[in-house]
Amino acid sequence: MSPTALGIDVGGSSLKVARVDPATQALVSPFHSVPTPQPATPAALVQLFAQLAQQLAPADPVGIALPCVVQHGIARSAANIDPGWIDFDCAAAARVALGRPVTVLNDADAAGLAEMRWGAGKGEQGVVLLLTFGTGIGSALFHEGRLLPNTELGHLQVDGREAEHQASARVRTLESLDWPSWAMRVNRVLAEYHALFWPDLIILGGSISQDFALFEPYLQCRAPVRAAQFMAQAGAMGAALAAIEEL
């Protein structure tokens, strides 16, 4: 087994790449971010995966986190990525292109794995909900440390619209919302999620988590709310962790 693994987290605007040593829970090379190809077709991204893997970690297993429902390495949805991903077997195509073991999973699930194993959720039992706020809203739901994959709660209807169309980080930017105004929308989304799952802890991750101190005073939720420890790096780190654990 390789002592390190490469994690690639595919976002709407960028790919975040981390080479991780699970034994030390640390990056073993600088964290990378590269623009997402436009259009973000399967062919374009698989080619980029191969380039990044060869440049950054020629022998490591690779974990890939996609903004899709992922079943057995196959993408089943494409809400914030090219529609050509639907029913595309990413794991099989990437294994051929990279010539090594590849693990594929949902991006928020990957972030949740990193935070539950090493970060803000370490040691937490009961029900933990991680939410990533970026281009959309991703979700990862855990019970007693076990992941229920592909929850995709960002697409849940809240007040007649998908949650991520109201309260994602992208929406905050597009609508020039100040922190109190955006937090009010987040509170409404959190209330709906809490009513469904009654989490013991909610972790907020994604690109917005680096600004947690700015909006935390305006958050209102019946569950404790905590910032993700690894912030925007969590998805890539969790993808690397998944790759190691699948070997």
Q: What is the pLDDT of residues 41-74, one digit of tens each?
A: 999 999 999 999 999 999 999 999 999 999 999 9
Clarify whether residues 100 and 129 are in a common domain: no
Q: Is residue 30 part of a domain?
A: yes
State the pLDDT at residue 244.
93
CA dist 8 and 66 (Å) reads: 9
Clarify whether residues 241 and 219 are in a common domain: no
Clarify whether residues 240 and 224 are in a common domain: no
Q: What is the pLDDT of residues 80-114, one digit of tens each?
A: 899 999 999 999 999 999 999 999 999 999 999 99
Q: Is residue 118 part of a domain?
A: no
Helices (H), ranges, the chain: 42-56, 90-98, 107-117, 164-167, 169-174, 179-197, 212-215, 234-246
Clarify whether residues 128 and 223 are in a common domain: yes
Q: What is the pLDDT of residues 127-183, one digit of tens each?
A: 999 999 998 999 999 999 999 999 999 999 999 999 999 999 999 999 999 999 999
Clarify whether residues 211 and 127 are in a common domain: yes
User: Domain of 77: which CATH number?
Assistant: 3.30.420.40
Q: Residue 156 belongs to what domain range?
A: 123-228
